[in-house]
């Protein structure tokens, strides 16, 4: 099967939570801890979990608590808390290491995430930082996903056009982010999203990228050596 994005592909970009890591349990534990510490009577509810999975910390706390004193108290606490105990709940997604190794060897690689200051530390902890040429988090831009700021930073770094980027995400925010930036979108474990490609396991993406790198891209060049577009 021929995939259109392979003709121009120069950058493979990944979301973090839900793509590199299964982090839903870690997120719930993180926010439940904050709510307990500020004396909030209720833990994270089932219907709230999708939102906190997709959005940065401050947006998620505002969603959970509103704009009152509880929100301000939670923000103050977050600035002092140690997040590392929650990393034990993170699990690398099956097959992600092999895909990162292949992508790094053949393309520019980037992370585009609504995580904030913990992003680099988490990648280093799991020894995945070496597979990314660029990491852009919500802490690095004025506006998080689905605003295009993060992807614009990636385009500027590698001097590529949107049609040269494949972005792998798993949420409605990622879907909107891809639409807003004009990149090719691979939806991971979420068949309800509108995407150019749906994958349920990273061995599927590995096979697609292996086919591209194995055919020489039609011009004898490795994909990451192709002329860029901007």
Which residue ranges make up each domain of the chain?
4-22+92-225, 24-88
Averages of pLDDT over each 10 residues, the chain, 230 residues? 81 97 88 94 91 87 94 93 82 97 97 89 93 96 96 98 97 97 98 97 96 49 48
**Domain 4-22+92-225 is in which class?**
alpha beta
* Residue 97 pLDDT: 97
Three-class HEC string of the chain: CCCHHHHCCCEEEECCECCCEECHHHHHHHHHHHHHHCCCCCCCCHHHHHHHHHCCHHHHHHHHHCCCHHHHHHHHHHCCCCCHHHHHHCEECCCHHHHHHHHHHHCEEEEEECCCCCHHHHHHHCCCHHHCCEEEEHHHCCCCCCCCHHHHHHHHHHCCCHHHEEEEECCHHHHHHHHHHCCEEEEECCCCCCCCEEECCHHHHHHHHHHHHHCHHHCCCCHHHCCCCC
* Residue 137 pLDDT: 95
What pTM value is reported for the model? 0.83
* Residue 2 pLDDT: 57
* Residue 218 pLDDT: 33
* Residue 48 pLDDT: 94
* Residue 230 pLDDT: 54
């Amino acid at each position: 099967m021929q995939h259109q994005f392979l003709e121009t592909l120069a950058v493979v970009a990944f979301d973090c939570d839900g793509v590199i890591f299964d982090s839903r349990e870690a997120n719930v534990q993180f926010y439940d801890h904050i709510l307990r510490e500020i004396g909030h009577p209720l833990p994270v509810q089932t219907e709230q979990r999708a939102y906190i999975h997709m959005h940065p910390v401050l947006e998620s706390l505002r969603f959970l608590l509103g704009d009152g004193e509880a929100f301000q108290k939670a923000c103050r606490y977050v600035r002092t808390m140690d997040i590392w105990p929650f990393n034990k709940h993170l699990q690398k997604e099956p097959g992600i290491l092999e895909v990162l190794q292949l992508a790094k060897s053949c393309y520019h690689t980037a992370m585009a995430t609504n995580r904030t200051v913990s992003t680099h530390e988490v990648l280093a902890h799991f020894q995945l930082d070496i597979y990314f040429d660029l990491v852009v988090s919500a802490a690095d831009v004025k506006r998080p996903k689905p605003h295009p700021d993060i992807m614009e930073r990636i385009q500027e770094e590698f001097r590529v056009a949107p049609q040269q980027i494949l972005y792998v995400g798993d949420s409605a925010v990622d879907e909107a982010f891809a639409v807003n930036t004009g990149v090719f979108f691979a939806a991971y474990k979420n068949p309800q999203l509108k995407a150019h490609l749906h994958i349920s396991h990273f061995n599927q993406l590995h096979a697609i990228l292996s086919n591209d790198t194995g055919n020489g891209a039609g011009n004898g060049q490795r994909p990451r050596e192709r002329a860029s577009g901007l």
